[in-house]
Amino acid sequence: MRSITSRIVTLSAITGIVLIASPLVAGAQGERFSISGRDVGIYNLVGSIKAVSGTGSEVIVTVAKSGKDAGQLRVEQGVINGRQTLRVIYPARRITFVDDDRRSGDRTTLRVADDGTFDNNDDEGSRVEISDRSGGLEARADLTVSIPAGKEISLRLGAGEVSVANVNGDISVGVAAARVTTRGTRGSLSLDTGSGEVSVTDAQGDLSLDTGSGGITLAQIRGDRLAVDAGSGRLSATDVNATTIDLDLGSGGATLKNVTATELKLDCGSGSTEIDLASDVRRLDIDAGSGGVTVWIPATLGAKVDIEAGSGGIDLGVPVTVTRWDRDHVIGTIGDGQGTIRIDAGSGGVRLKKRT
């Protein structure tokens, strides 16, 4: 799990030929660039990236620069590590960025290579600071990325906002301190955030989230696998259907409504946990450090049950054939006993309730 404080984002330096891009069109709405190939990476330190559905065979990027130092920004294209890239180059080690959703005094630090690339797993490159302090480079870029179906897209932003709407392809988003919103995606979706709220709606395909801090909201999720690794911030999910769900939450807890899964595993350090099961499960495994656990059980569910609660008690609101009942430990069977439910709550009560 990543640090929930100021995040360091790094990238190893890469050698190769770098081409300065020539815009297709220049105008008040920004410069337009085309990128060929299936695997495409977009890099922008400050501002926004808006990804939308496109047509044709090429990715089209519109870059709109603003700020008193906007003239110092330049755009480069070229192949890096086998991937076609477009990179907005900021010729400064300190950037002044004021945004309504950033708190006064917020500071984001990244490691950025000379070619303008950055990522989450390396420790080389020059240190760049983004904050609202005066005296830095005052410039930002707002990118609109039009993506045809079937692409493999990597979107990287330091600070600001990323949105993805109605894109069909394999999508990877990495941000240091930014809001991320997606809607109507088809294909695998991977989100890696240092801080900032995350919202995913109407996603079909495997979904992976790795977040440092900030709330997570999910709705209308369909895929084989849903995986969430979160440092802090509550997870709220509605209408989720996945073969396997794996949730590792540091603090903040989780509310999951209308959930269908074959296997569901949740490990939560602190915060209340509420899970509304819409159908039978083969395995439900919950480890909760602190905070109560409530599970709504559908009438069709059958499972062997093993519940431990350090404090707060155990309340069985559904019929259970009990084979062991201690003050803090219950073992029994619901229905045909075909599945398995294991709940271990360090503190806080455990409640099983009948789903209506």
Identify the bridge partners of residue 94 per DSSP, sorted by sequence position.
129
The span from the CA of 2 to the CA of 264, in Å, is 22
- The band of 120, judged by pLDDT with boundaries at 50, 70 and 90, is low
Higher pLDDT: 249 or 122? It is 249
The span from the CA of 97 to the CA of 67, in Å, is 10
Position 28 scores a pLDDT of 44
Q: Is the pLDDT of residue 10 over 90?
A: no
Position 106 scores a pLDDT of 84
Higher pLDDT: 24 or 252? It is 252
Say if residue 353 is exposed, middle or buried (CB neighbours under 10 Å; 0-12, 13-18, 19+): middle
Q: What b/e sequence results for 302-312 when a residue is b if at least 16 CB atoms lie within 10 Å of its CB, and e otherwise?
A: ebbbbbbbeeb
Q: Is the pLDDT of residue 173 over 70?
A: yes
List the structure tokens of 340. Answer: 């398995």
Average pLDDT over residues 4-11: 34
Mean pLDDT of the chain: 91
Cα-to-chain-centroid distance, residue 337: 35
- The band of 61, judged by pLDDT with boundaries at 50, 70 and 90, is very high
Q: How many percent of the chain have pLDDT more than 90?
A: 85
CB 334 within 8 A of CB 306: no
Mean pLDDT check: name the lowest of 38-52, 114-128, 196-210, 212-226: 114-128
Q: Is the pLDDT of residue 24 over 80?
A: no
Q: Long-range contacts for 311-315 (Cβ within 8 Å, ≥24 apart)? A: 311/347, 311/348, 311/349, 312/345, 312/347, 312/348, 312/349, 312/350, 313/349, 313/350, 314/349, 314/350, 315/349, 315/350, 315/351, 315/352
List the structure tokens of 2. Answer: 């990543």
Q: Is the pLDDT of residue 49 over 80?
A: yes
Mean pLDDT check: name the lowest of 117-131, 250-264, 306-320: 117-131
- The band of 311, judged by pLDDT with boundaries at 50, 70 and 90, is confident
Cα-to-chain-centroid distance, residue 162: 11
Q: What is the pLDDT of residues 82-113, one digit of tens each?
A: 999 999 999 999 999 988 666 667 899 999 99
Torsion of CA 235, 241, 242, 243, to 10 degrees: 130
The span from the CA of 182 to the CA of 289, in Å, is 31
Closest CA to 270 of 293, 250, 248, 295: 250
The span from the CA of 83 to the CA of 88, in Å, is 16
Q: Is the pLDDT of residue 248 over 70?
A: yes
Residue appearing with tokens 């009438």: 299
Position 21 scores a pLDDT of 40
Position 22 scores a pLDDT of 40
Q: Is the pLDDT of residue 259 over 50?
A: yes
Q: What is the pLDDT of residues 208-233, one digit of tens each?
A: 999 999 999 999 999 999 999 999 99
Q: Is the pLDDT of residue 333 over 90?
A: yes
Q: How many percent of the chain have pLDDT more than 70?
A: 90
Q: What is the pLDDT of residues 179-191, one digit of tens each?
A: 999 999 999 999 9
Say if residue 95 is exposed, middle or buried (CB neighbours under 10 Å; 0-12, 13-18, 19+): buried
Position 124 scores a pLDDT of 79
Mean pLDDT check: name the lowest of 22-31, 41-50, 52-61, 118-127: 22-31
CA within 13 Å, CB half, 65? 18
